[in-house]
Amino acid sequence: LTSGKILRLGRILEPSENRAVIIALDHDSYAGPMAGLADPLKVLEVAAKGGADAVIVTPGTLLKHYKSIAGKLGVILRIDGGHTSLHPNPTPCSALTYTVEGAIHLGADAVVMMAYIGTEYETMSLRTLGYVASQCQECGMPLIAETFPTGEFSGKERLAEFVKLSARVGSAIGADLIKTFYTGSVESFKEVVSGCLTPVVVAGGSRMKTEKDALEVARGAVDAGANGVAFGRNVWQSCNPLGMVKALVDIVHKDKAVDKALDHIKS
Amino acid sequence: LTSGKILRLGRILEPSENRAVIIALDHDSYAGPMAGLADPLKVLEVAAKGGADAVIVTPGTLLKHYKSIAGKLGVILRIDGGHTSLHPNPTPCSALTYTVEGAIHLGADAVVMMAYIGTEYETMSLRTLGYVASQCQECGMPLIAETFPTGEFSGKERLAEFVKLSARVGSAIGADLIKTFYTGSVESFKEVVSGCLTPVVVAGGSRMKTEKDALEVARGAVDAGANGVAFGRNVWQSCNPLGMVKALVDIVHKDKAVDKALDHIKS
Amino acid sequence: LTSGKILRLGRILEPSENRAVIIALDHDSYAGPMAGLADPLKVLEVAAKGGADAVIVTPGTLLKHYKSIAGKLGVILRIDGGHTSLHPNPTPCSALTYTVEGAIHLGADAVVMMAYIGTEYETMSLRTLGYVASQCQECGMPLIAETFPTGEFSGKERLAEFVKLSARVGSAIGADLIKTFYTGSVESFKEVVSGCLTPVVVAGGSRMKTEKDALEVARGAVDAGANGVAFGRNVWQSCNPLGMVKALVDIVHKDKAVDKALDHIKS
Amino acid sequence: LTSGKILRLGRILEPSENRAVIIALDHDSYAGPMAGLADPLKVLEVAAKGGADAVIVTPGTLLKHYKSIAGKLGVILRIDGGHTSLHPNPTPCSALTYTVEGAIHLGADAVVMMAYIGTEYETMSLRTLGYVASQCQECGMPLIAETFPTGEFSGKERLAEFVKLSARVGSAIGADLIKTFYTGSVESFKEVVSGCLTPVVVAGGSRMKTEKDALEVARGAVDAGANGVAFGRNVWQSCNPLGMVKALVDIVHKDKAVDKALDHIKS
Amino acid sequence: LTSGKILRLGRILEPSENRAVIIALDHDSYAGPMAGLADPLKVLEVAAKGGADAVIVTPGTLLKHYKSIAGKLGVILRIDGGHTSLHPNPTPCSALTYTVEGAIHLGADAVVMMAYIGTEYETMSLRTLGYVASQCQECGMPLIAETFPTGEFSGKERLAEFVKLSARVGSAIGADLIKTFYTGSVESFKEVVSGCLTPVVVAGGSRMKTEKDALEVARGAVDAGANGVAFGRNVWQSCNPLGMVKALVDIVHKDKAVDKALDHIKS
């Protein structure tokens, strides 16, 4: 990696251990003011106070709150989208809604985009991913790719295979960090990690039943060799967002057990 | 926001109170010489005389009348369009018809564009919106987004929810000001305003039954925390356009009641 | 308008009266060597000799005959097209076939392009029109838009309404001169002219039954306030092309009656 | 002038009367925190409160205080300099220190630069002036030129002749507004104004002995047909800066006599 | 020559005879409001009324008066300068003060610049001339070069030799028209004309003793094969500027004798 990518990634993945707790709050670009995210400043403050390394934000949130972020959190800018939750017939394909050059001018430490794998639209997604990867390399801007297999592939075992394939594809095309789903077990996720050319962080996805469930995903991923987590709804829709951030930091950076980490939630 | 955006927005939203009365007269790019808008100069003169802060104009109107606008009104340039009212099968999607660089050279204080939410075409709309947002950020040019849910969503309650979502989506993608529909009640519009990352102004839309109806929309929006209005047909198709501008100024900038403001219409 | 646009337009619309006789001979880009236009030099010579102000030409005609044009006629370059008369399934949409920068380097005094209104393709047409308008403003190059409603709107009364709408739309998007159809009566065309933000010239279209018919269109248009004519087939497919140019000059620049102007044809 | 130039100049020269009171506070780019200018915000507030039309500022002052300027004052950005008061051997020649494109992105309403006339270095100055004039024309950005004859030309009569020549030279090369010295008498300054192709404002220069002296310069200039004043030290080094701004507004915009205007200073 | 150059030159050199009467009024860029040129509009009106073909103007004059020029006069833009008459130690070398691209956007029909020959600085002059010639060729913009030998070469015979050399040098480097001094006799100027690769027009220079003297220079030049004149002070400092323009038109375009042409002055 170039100097620009290493210096910037160093504000996301803590360099000595190469791990990160990332809080995602970019959901407003498709779902509007979701419960827990109506005021993004609250989430940013919780992320910083709890010790998270970086946040995923939309351009609008960055433009409004950069003064509150400066010196506290790494900034990952969401640069794609294009579907809202009102779309009558959504397709698994996103479009670029910002530019890499614009991201660098805004001071972002990385850009993040989706690439849905296993759909009729994947060619378009991968073309865009590759184009952005090429631009990012020129600029020294780290690229985080969310290369998810689409939901049509059911059955846990096949999912693991598809996540593994998708993560490697994203890294092969030129992303610097892969954000993907947890595959349900340490064993299966080990294969995802070992099959991928770059570090991997796990996404949280929809809110899970309990905080414990979410922390176990984090624990399993890290045990499997993942480089951390990128959690959103499981943090800011929790009954205790600050506790969740602290618990994730305990698991990812201090290698604590889930039960120990849960202390932050209860208190 | 950057120096360029703040200085330019300061000619639209009166800086001490952050509110604006905007008169929209950009309808000729799709509907030709509408009743009341055959001669845009008359509308420009009424807007200035009545104390409006800014106008929304097409490039053609600006090129013809900039000398009459200079020093009197902020200029918001319509940069998209592409449907006329003769289109046999209109789709909720517009196309860029001018450039941000061109707008800045013409001396515009902001650009405005549509992004229809909740349609099959929203990906294209949001991609264009994001691209323009990125350009605007580079140039210090404020971007006003009209992020409207399409008309297929009927029922007042759902409308409020969809307007709220759409406004936030537009602001998340990087617009600096959202222009949207009034949701019918102060309570519901408060949520639109609080859920949006930027100031919000309400559009007037089609001509309402009475001037009082239109002023009540303005009054409700401001009471809900909106930053003003962007009215067109309800001004220049009124029996008393100048009175309507003055009444809107009374409501938005002087916080007068509708009945008091109506004095301008009667006289 | 800028210095460049005013100086260039001054070679098309005679500045003291703002009127023009334009001879269109750009039909070879879609119809090949039409009868009367096999040798464009003959038409150019007739136009100059008869006192026309400007000609509409294709790049090929300009490249071959600029020496015969220099100092005699204003030059309007056709920059779009893309359908020939051999197209098996023509759609009302044209494509740019030359650039504004190229036109300025060739020494053109204006560029002309089509935008069909009232079709499914109008979005594409209007986007291109706006893009060219923006470029032309940067370069000081006048833009002539042919914003025609498509033929599907039959019935004279509706036609007048649609021509009016189309002319205004073209001028709102940023054209400097509109070329459109005559609506059949002085009264109806007055509305087209007064509803348009720019000067208007009438197209001749297909060859009319008699020379008198064509001259009456010119006479009616000028009486309605139009700024002149842009005639092609009705000139160079006439039995007396030179006479027709002279007759048009009589009507447009000398305000003569049709019967008087017809003297040029008979002799 | 183009749309961009007219709209922007309309925020400096009040359009109905074409006159301006400009407060210059750009001295920190060569003299550091001069007495009276240590805190530019105070001067900006005095300028706005007193009713001045615009200010001349350095990029640093704009970047720090644009929020206090927005909606209140036109912004003229100093884009040249390059000598400080510590220069051991100063030459009458300045260098560009900012770009026109940068100025337009910052939201400036005009740029201002020097061109010393009557020195060995004038070729370099005029070349730069012309280059900037050409760029400003492309961007719609007004250019204010300070075309001063250098101090070596002593003797009042010759000074008047040289100021006249210098003002015309600056306007011939393409500036949109000339800022120059007062020539000491209404009669001689009338010739400066009538010989110049553009509006003219008078500079105040070093602090004069009394406030009355400074106001008499303003009065004389306006009586000679000048379009206003651009005063700095004579405002913010005055015992009563706010009074001076108000007095200048009285003279320039209300055509009051010096004695009447002096009331603002005494009170 | 390209289409662009021929079409534009056709507005300067009347195409059928290739001759021009050019009125130069670009002196304000170095001498300010010279006697006779304080108001350039008067000179422009005299030029048009008298039948001149084109004018040489500064950017400032064009920006102020393009509406009065449109459709009446060809426009030659002065794009260099850099010395004023206040320069304490002038060197025979000028600098570019405008751009070819800017000139083309302003609608100029040609650009004109100096190149002093026979001085220490000629390398710099010729380098700039060649650079502009190359740009002009790309843009289709005619370039007029004033390739004057400097005044140090005294003695009429040597002057003729030097003018001949300088004219050819300018044309060899890529200018499209040479403006130079008359060499005092038809015989000697014939050699200038025949030795030059392009058309040649004679400059008038300082005001001559009588109008007759000036007309005899024009007569002699045309008799020697020159393509016309570019006169300034000898026109607008004449007791009868309009008469002088008419007299020059008589000589250049109607091949009249000096005595006959002088009738315009007397009347």
**Which amino acid, residue A40?**
P
d(Cα D39, Cα E193) in Å, to the nearest integer?
Answer: 67
For residues E169 and E139, the answer to whether their CB atoms sit within 8 Å is no
In the numeric block, which tokens belong to residue E135?
A: 């740009």
d(Cα C180, Cα C146) in Å, to the nearest integer?
Answer: 6
SS3 category, E70? coil
The DSSP secondary structure of C160-188, one letter per residue, reads HHHHHHHHHHHHHHT-SEEEE---SSHHH
Residue A154 has pLDDT above 80, yes or no: no
B177 and A CB contact within 8 Å: no
Condensed to tens digits (0 to 9), the pLDDT of residues E105-136 reads 999 999 999 998 988 888 989 999 999 999 99
Check B174 against A63: CB less than 8 A apart: yes
Check D131 against E99: CB less than 8 A apart: yes
Residue C75: predicted pLDDT: 98
Which parts of chain C have pLDDT scores under 50? none
D7 and B CB contact within 8 Å: yes
SS3 category, B255? coil
Q: Which residues of C touch B26 (CB under 8 A)?
A: 172
- Nearest Cα residue in chain B from D67: B6
Bridge partners of E81, per DSSP, are E95
- Nearest Cα residue in chain E from C138: E105
Condensed to tens digits (0 to 9), the pLDDT of residues D183-240 reads 999 999 999 999 999 999 999 999 999 999 999 999 999 999 999 999 999 999 999 9
B206 and D CB contact within 8 Å: no
Check C126 against B63: CB less than 8 A apart: no
Which parts of chain B have pLDDT scores under 50? none
B142 and A CB contact within 8 Å: no
**Beta strand spans in C79-148 (E):** 80-81, 95-96, 110-114, 143-146
Mean pLDDT of chain D: 94
Check D137 against E30: CB less than 8 A apart: no
Chains C and E touch (3+ CB pairs under 8 A): yes
Q: Which of B15, B63, B140 is closest, CB to CB, to D70? A: B15
E48 and C CB contact within 8 Å: no
What mean pLDDT do residues A150-154 have? 64
| Chain C nearest CA to E21, separation (Å) | 15
C120 and B CB contact within 8 Å: yes
Q: Which residues of B touch A64 (CB under 8 A)?
A: 197-198
d(Cα B258, Cα A255) in Å, to the nearest integer?
Answer: 63
Condensed to tens digits (0 to 9), the pLDDT of residues D34-78 reads 999 999 999 999 999 999 999 999 999 999 999 999 999 999 999
| Chain E nearest CA to C127, separation (Å) | 23
d(Cα A80, Cα B154) in Å, to the nearest integer?
Answer: 29
D155 and B CB contact within 8 Å: no
Mean pLDDT of chain A: 94
Residue B126: predicted pLDDT: 93
E106 and D CB contact within 8 Å: yes
Assign 3-state DSSP to chain A and report helix, strand, coil percentages, each to 5: 45, 15, 35
> CA separation (Å) from B239 to A44, B229, B234, B264, D261?
50, 19, 10, 12, 45
| Chain B nearest CA to D109, separation (Å) | 9
Q: Which residues of B touch D3 (CB under 8 A)?
A: 62-63, 66, 106-107
Which residue, among D7, D19, D44, D134, would best test binding to B if mutated, counting the most B CBs under 10 Å from its CB?
Answer: D7
Q: Which of D8, D14, D70 is closest, CB to CB, to B6? A: D70
| Chain B nearest CA to D53, separation (Å) | 11
Check D117 against E60: CB less than 8 A apart: no
Q: Which of D6, D72, D108 is closest, CB to CB, to B70? A: D6
| Bigger pLDDT: B91 vs A23 | A23
In the B/C pair of chains, how many CB contacts fall below 8 A?
123
Quote the ipTM score. 0.92
Confidence band of E93 (pLDDT split at 50, 70, 90): confident
- Nearest Cα residue in chain B from A106: B137
Mean pLDDT of chain E: 94
Nearest to D137 by CA among D104, D98, D178, D179: D104
What mean pLDDT do residues A148-153 have? 73
Residue D154 has pLDDT above 60, yes or no: no
Q: Which of B137, B167, B169 is closest, CB to CB, to A102? A: B137
| Chain D nearest CA to E42, separation (Å) | 13
Check D127 against E38: CB less than 8 A apart: no
pTM metric for this prediction: 0.94
E40 and D CB contact within 8 Å: yes
| Chain C nearest CA to E9, separation (Å) | 8
E 49-78 residues inside an 8 A Cβ radius of C:
62-63, 66-67, 69-72, 75
Nearest to E105 by CA among C136, B103, C143, D99: C136
In the numeric block, which tokens belong to residue D23?
A: 């407060």
- Nearest Cα residue in chain C from E135: C105
Q: Which residues of D touch E59 (CB under 8 A)?
A: 130, 133-134, 137, 172-174
Confidence band of A221 (pLDDT split at 50, 70, 90): very high
Confidence band of E8 (pLDDT split at 50, 70, 90): very high
Q: Which of B127, B138, B165 is closest, CB to CB, to A86? A: B165
Q: Which residues of D touch E63 (CB under 8 A)?
A: 1, 137, 174, 176, 197
Q: Which residues of C touch E63 (CB under 8 A)?
A: 3
Torsion of CA B126, B131, B137, B139, to 10 degrees: -140
Residue C120: predicted pLDDT: 86
Q: What angle do CA C14, C16, C18 make, to 5 degrees?
A: 50
Residue E74 has pLDDT above 90, yes or no: yes
Condensed to tens digits (0 to 9), the pLDDT of residues E129-176 reads 999 999 999 999 999 999 988 766 556 668 889 999 999 999 999 999
Residue A92 has pLDDT above 90, yes or no: no
Condensed to tens digits (0 to 9), the pLDDT of residues E31-55 reads 999 999 999 999 999 999 999 999 9
Residue A119: predicted pLDDT: 86
Query: How many CA atoms are closer than 13 Å to the CA of A107, on its beta-carbon side?
Result: 10
Nearest to A248 by CA among A266, A236, A224, A264: A264
Name every residue whose Cβ is closer than 8 Å to that of residue C19 and which is 6 or more positions away in sequence: C13, C222, C227, C228, C252, C253
Q: Which residues of B touch C196 (CB under 8 A)?
A: 33
